[in-house]
Chains A and B, each alone.
Chain A
Amino acid sequence: MPRSPTLVQSALCAVSLAVAWSGIASPAAAAGGAFADWTFHAMARLEWARGVSGDQKLEVVAEPSFAWRPKGARWWLHGVGRLRVDGFDRMEPGQPPPVERSSLSRQWQLGDRADLELRELVFEAAVGPAYLRLGKQQIVWGEADGLKLLDVVNPQDFREFILPDFDESRIPLWAIQFEVPVGPIVAEFVWLPDPTFHDLPEPGSPFAFTSERLVGRPPAGLPVRIDPPDRPRRLLRDSDAGVRISGQFGGWDLGVAYFFHTDDTPVPAARLEAGPAGPLLRVSPRYERDHLVGATASNAFGDLVVRSEIAWRSDRFLPTGDPAAREGVTRTPELGYVLGLDWFGFTDSLVSLQVFQSWLLEDGPGRFRDTLDTNLTLLVRREFWNERLRVEAIWIHNLNDGDGVLRPKVRYELRDDWTVWAGIDVFYGRSRGLFGQFDHSDRLLVGLEWGI
């Protein structure tokens, strides 16, 4: 039985959308009078995706937004809502229970094919030299593109795996962010008392996880029962908190970060049980705490920009086929890093190469991934006609499993407020791989965006 958002969440969402739409619908009012301190915008997007096995989605997304900034004030409020309607209802069939989201961050499901969500509602204020952001928001750390290492403050909606812009797929959380400049550096403190985790697609949807790297490999012939995840419930002890210190030294943009959080990926803890028809494997997902320590560095050398990121995590829980392993998972610290090179040497072009490596620091027999896992990404982008036309291709390849995804795309600015695009997402490789598991979900994508 799907659970609804709370009354508070619904009210906030409804008020934000109503405020934004009223301003957009009444530009004359926004120009003066009671709305003189308000600004309103909206984006509407239509996107159709056709997979090899049929239509994936025909989606209309409307995102009204507002900002309220009284004249002379050093604070302001802004909010973004999102109404999403899907003509096919294949990405998330039915109304899957929002078990990964807290009651304050849930979408409001309007039948099987539509949902409404408060994407942002943020109060921002300059407090002397410091800066406060309070409310539902996205907090982005890290330097990497396409794949994530340090960008783990907000969880992600994986309904389309990692294909949408992270701005769309990142799940905003209720949080406090406070930035304090101290001499040449800035200290940023974050606290997130919102127990919302990665939104994973339901079995049967085009991008449901099936790779054994993520979900393990149950013994053949054994029935599996999956429980709802065991969610942390303590407001303070289960909340996430961190600090990031950044600054510029000798031309380098440098940062260090520490984040104590609940890992957004559930641990697929499994055990054998006696069922009514014989033994069964009962999977009881739960969330575990994790310490993350990381650093970033970037600099430009002529036309070349070097970006790097490193992260150590104390507790990664991974599925294993080792029968001796407790609950079918192993625990290990992990060291990950990314080195990126962006080349701006060609006119109106960007060539970006990244190497991601993840190194599991403790042995674990029977794990479904190698101790050292390497991904390469390549982005080639060229702008034409004074940035009216953009042609790009993104390629992500995993060296260990030999799988990956190739994503050529063309984007054209039809008018100031209209943009159209077309692209294809082609997965390849073995089904055990992160990308190969979606080999059956290749798709053609066509979209149109309108801004007012």
Chain B
Amino acid sequence: MDRLAGRAIALAALLTLWGPAAAAQQLPTGREIAQRINARDEGVTARRHVTMELVDRSGYTRTRETVLFRRYAKGADGSAGEKWIALFYLGPPTIKDTAFLTHDYLESKRQDEQWLYLPALRRTRRIGLRDRGKSFLGTDLSFDDVRNETKVTISDYTWKTLGTSEVDGHPCLTVEATPVDAETARLLGYSRVEFAVDREIWIVRKAEYEDLGGRHLKTSHQRDIRQIDGIWTPHAVTVTNHRTGHSTRFAYSEIAYGVSLPDDLFTERALRRGPPE
């Protein structure tokens, strides 16, 4: 019995000594984490009401009410993918009826396409955005952030697992993403991103971004993550730009997945008509 106890103590001591090293070895690689993020179900279609609160350095807040529709569609050549997003402004009255449409070609070198409907012109105009890191309609998100939603563009970065962390009480894996080359970094506007990824549900809970000069640029924090129709969904996102002191709070409501969204909704003509009921 004494011998057995002694062996157990010795085994426990070994595990204590070697545990962290063994655990680190067991962490998935950065690329595997990115793949797990993207493998998470996001639904083919989604609809949600988005309240955007734009908060300046002094704390003054402007509010935009919008409704967003998103749909994945097969490419014309049968490839996996196109992602269509239509965003309609419901208020305030000064920008009501403005609408934005994007067709993203996820696995293609074809340039993404964007259209903006401006009620003052009563016309939808094509916009050209090679730099995906540009600010999205006055918010602190970039067009690339909006395009990705809760996913990542794996091919844009080199991925490396840094270790573990905890965000809002949830155990996370910390992964570093470095743009694959200088041109990609310039287009994204980031030189490095550090993602804290929930290791149970594979969703990014927090992301820290560095600008091209390596300075801390912004923080994105996803909170109130709950399941809607079986899909893990953030209900609140805060993006803070540390250089400007400006932040944007996004609150999502009336979220629905698997809704019927016709092709016609994602056309420049639909922008003029406004959102469906």
Interface residues, chain A, with chain B CB atoms under 8 Å away: 41-43, 69, 71-73, 124, 129, 131, 138, 140, 142-143, 145, 165-167, 170, 179, 181, 186, 251, 253, 298-305, 307, 342-345, 347-348, 383, 385-388, 413, 415-419, 449, 451-452
Contacts and interface: CB of A to CB of B under 8 A. Distances in A.
A300 B128 contact: yes
A449 B113 CA distance: 33
Contacts of A186: 267, 269
A190 to B, nearest CB: 14
12 contacts: A131-B273, A138-B122, A140-B123, A166-B121, A179-B269, A303-B131, A304-B128, A305-B125, A342-B128, A386-B138, A413-B94, A415-B62
B232 to A, nearest CB: 29
Interface string B94-126: 101000000000000011011000011111011
A303 B129 contact: yes
A387 B246 CA distance: 12
Contacts, number: 116
A388 B56 contact: yes
B155 interface: no
A387 B138 contact: yes
Contacts of B269: 179, 186
Contacts of A305: 125-128
A343 B110 CA distance: 19
Given A305-B127, A344-B127, A140 B122 contact: yes
Contacts of B111: 251, 300-302
Interface SS of chain B: helix, strand, loop or mixed?
loop
A132 to B, nearest CB: 11
Contacts of A343: 128
Contacts of A385: 56, 246
B132 to A, nearest CB: 11
Nearest to A69: B277
Interface of B: 54, 56, 62-63, 91-94, 96, 110-111, 113-114, 119-123, 125-131, 134-135, 137-140, 244, 246, 248, 264, 267-269, 273, 277
Contacts of B92: 416-417, 451
A13 to B, nearest CB: 21
A124 B272 CA distance: 12
Nearest to B137: A387
A73 B273 CA distance: 15
A347 B264 contact: no
Contacts of B134: 344, 347-348
B86 to A, nearest CB: 15
Contact of A386 (B113, B121, B135, B264): B135
Contacts of B113: 251, 300
Contacts of B248: 386
Contacts of B246: 385-386
A165 B123 CA distance: 12
Contacts of A71: 277
A385 B248 CA distance: 12
Given A138-B122, A300-B113, A303-B131, A386 B94 contact: no
B128 A165 contact: no
A302 B112 CA distance: 9
Contact of B264 (A129, A415, A418, A449): A129
B123 A413 contact: no
A301 B128 contact: yes
Given A167-B120, A386-B54, A417 B94 contact: yes
A43 B120 CA distance: 13
A385 B244 CA distance: 9
B105 to A, nearest CB: 10
A299 B126 contact: yes
Contact of B135 (A303, A348, A416): A348
A9 B276 CA distance: 30
Given A300-B126, A302-B130, A348-B134, 14 more contacts: A41-B93, A43-B94, A131-B273, A165-B121, A167-B119, A179-B269, A251-B110, A303-B129, A305-B125, A307-B126, A342-B127, A344-B127, A386-B138, A416-B92
